[in-house]
Each structure stands twice: as C-alpha cells, then as structure tokens.
Copies of this chain bind each other. A is one copy, B any other.
C-alpha cells in the first residue's frame, strides 16, 4: 500500500482534542468529566441569533459569494466601524471560522520555507497550519514568570527568512494582553523589518482590566502590513457555527486570499444567517459576558494559588490560564486524571501544555485551563486538580 504523505505523518496532534477518547472512556464508566480542555463557552448563543434559524425561509440552501453574504458582511463592517475601523469591501473576506482565516493569512503571506515568528506558547493550530503549508515557526520565547509577556529584544527573534510576526491578543493560551509598550515594539519591529503583522484578535472583548486592546488595524506605522484573523465563535458563543473573517488593507494579500476562498466556494450559509443578527444585540452584551468571565478568571487563579507547587500568573484577557504544575509530564497527568482519578464521581480535564509550544521540550510541566464553566464548577475543578496532584504518581516534590 502507498504510504501517506510525510506532511500528514508529521502533522501535530491537537493538544486540546487528542486525549478526548480518555474523557469519553471516563464518561462511559459513569465519571462526570469537567471539561476545561477546550475553549467551548457554556454561555448561551444569544436567543436573537438562534431565532434566525426559525425565521429561515429560503427553499434552497444555496452557495453564496466566496467573500460572504451581503447581510452578514454589513454586520461585520458595522462592527468594525464601531471599533473605529473604516474598511473597504475588498478588505474583508468571511471565513469558515477563525481557523480558515489563520489558514488564508498564512498561505497568502508566506511561502514554503519562509519563517513566521510567534510568541511561544501559542495557539496550537498555528503550528498545525504552518506545518501543513511548509512554513517554519520561529518561537518568540515567553515564560510563566513574566506572565508570558514579550521579551525585550524582539529583533533577536527575527531572521533573514522571517516574513511575518503572528500575535494572538488577548492570547490563547496564556491570557496575556500586550501592553501599549509591547504593541509599539511589535509594530516598530514589523515596520522596520518590513514584516506582515498577523493578529488573531478573536478574544478582543475578553479583557478584564482597562480599555479594550487596540487592533493592529489602528497603527498607521504598519501601513498595509496588518492582517487580522477574527472569529465570532467566542464573542457570541457560536463555536459550532464556524464563522469568522480575515481583514487586511493589503490588496495583494486579500486578492490571494480571495482565490483561496473561491476554491472552497463559500462560507457556511446557515452560520452567516445566524451571525448577521449580531447587529440586534443589546449594547451591554459584552459587559455582561466580561463580568462573568472576570469572576471565572478570579476563581481559577485563586484556586490555583491555593495548590502547593503550582506557578501561575493572573491572565489579563481571553479565557485561558496557563499554569506550571509540580508534575513530570502534562500528557501523562491529564490521562491520569481521566483514567485513574475521580472524587465523588467527578474529575477534571485540562489540556497538556507541551502541544502549545513550538520549541521542543518546553511546556511539559504546564497545562492550559479554559475557564468556560460557571464559578461553582470552576472552584470544584481547581479542588479536584489539587487533590489529583496530591495522589499523582509523577508528582514532583
């Protein structure tokens, strides 16, 4: 039989999903698994959005334009206008989730063998898409000790083959929100070295202190180098709909991305019908969600602080918390929690940290916690984590 491709064999497994079979097995044994491994909010998709499904009366669910349906595009342009960004029609392409926006951005900006510099740890799927496209990830090292903020000397993280910097702000998986000074340094770097600045801003509204972070679209010094990856998944609890967008004023990048978009014909029609209702949400919609997530963050962070041997930094945004645990190996620990630990019929699943690092060997004693459950369940989860650590055979003392 022919062998599959090398790129398929070498593709990384998702640290978020690869251990799900152990969770399924635990559930089959009657264990209640608290899922903090994946950024799936428990918050309801707004009823006004779901109502679009009952109101759907097209008799043919037809292909739409490759760049997105007009009503949803209008909703997106209105959203960006409220953020202060005037966009032309060709500056925006609707994508099948933020995932496809990442894919289009990488493919349109970088060729095989080109390098992209990304703060490490990073959203694991950047690594997957880069590998699939033959792009080399050049990690910008960050550590839990400095709250996963950027190093001083960014130029040292850039080489002659580096074509782009990719940041996630607020950051999945670390929860870091880059300061004005950090953003100024990144913008200056990209302008000086003539690099694309790709910014994944899907957690834009999830910031728990101070004003919302500025989009990379708002830095004139970047010229047309800014490329924004966006998604409605987290903002409106629409993860399953698979809807997002790619935004850039770089006409060459957008012309390329449009050809990729045409190859997949159109983004999902039903998701667009639902997402177009965003214009009908109350102005305080994000405030309510933000207050809830702030409480959740505090619950998780306080819970972690109470566990001996855990090192964590309080996240400033998104809904993730990275933490260093007193363990030998994150994969083994997560499996242990699913296979060999339960208390009163319950256990907790987090994501092992190593899969979020591009640099080999890093993150083996870290985990990512998505705080996507209510505060009671999160407090319970942190207690279960602490009790699991007590009895875990690979615990470091």
Interface residues of A (CB under 8 A from B): 1-9, 11-14, 16-18, 20, 38, 40-45, 50, 53-54, 56, 59-66, 96-97, 99-100, 103, 107-112, 114, 125, 128-129, 132, 134, 163-164, 194-196, 223-225, 237-242, 250, 252-253, 255-257, 259-260, 262-271, 274
Measured between beta carbons, the chain B residues less than 8 angstroms from A13 are 259, 262
Interchain CB contact under 8 A, B253 and A17: no
Complexed CA–CA distance, A41 and B60 (Å): 8
| Residues of chain B within 8 A of A112, CB atoms compared | 7, 112, 134
B8–A259 touching, CB < 8 Å: yes
- The answer on a CB contact under 8 Å between B5 and A256 is yes
The answer on a CB contact under 8 Å between A268 and B265 is: no
**Contacts A8-B256, A97-B264, A263-B99 known; A40 to B53 CB distance under 8 Å?**
no
Of listed A20, A225, A264, A267, residue having the most chain B CB within 10 A: A264
A241→B269 contact, CB < 8 A? yes
Q: Establish whether residues A14 and B263, one from each chain, have CB atoms under 8 Å apart when the complex forms.
A: yes
- Structural contact, B108 and A4, CB atoms closer than 8 A: yes
Given the interface contacts A8-B107, A13-B259, A259-B14, does A250 sit within 8 Å of B41 by beta carbon?
no
Could you name 14 residue pairs across A and B whose Cβ atoms are closer than 8 Å? Answer: A2-B194, A4-B108, A5-B256, A7-B256, A43-B60, A45-B61, A96-B268, A97-B264, A100-B264, A125-B263, A132-B263, A241-B270, A242-B267, A242-B269
Given A266-B240, A268-B270, A270-B268, also A5-B114 (CB < 8 A): yes
Evaluate contact between B7 and A107: CB separation under 8 angstroms.
yes
Given A132-B260, A237-B60, do A99 and B5 touch, yes or no (CB 8 Å)?
no
**Contact pick for A132, options B7, B66, B107, CB 8 Å:** B107
A189 vs chain B, min Cβ distance (A): 13
A83–chain B nearest beta-carbon distance, Å: 23
- Within the complex, the shortest CB–CB distance from A393 to chain B, in Å, comes to 29
Whether B269 lies near A17 (C-beta < 8 A) is no
CA distance A257 to B327 in the complex (A): 32
Q: Which residues of B contact A100 (CB under 8 A)?
A: 264
CA of A259 to CA of B87, assembled, Å: 35
A224 to B108, CA, bound (A): 34
Cα–Cα distance between A1 and B43 once the two chains are bound (Å): 41
Q: Which of A3, A44, A225 has the most CB of B within 10 A?
A: A3
Tell me if B63 and A239 are in contact (CB < 8 A): yes
A193 nearest CB neighbor, chain B only: B2
Nearest B residue to A270 via CB reads B270
Min CB gap A59→B, angstroms: 5
Contacts of A42 in B (CB 8 A): 60
Inter-subunit contact B50/A62 (CB<8 Å) = no
Chain B residues whose C-beta falls within 8 Å of the C-beta of A250 in the assembled complex: 1, 4
State the Cβ distance, A224 to closest chain B Cβ, in Å. 5
**A252 adjacent to B110 (CB under 8 Å):** no
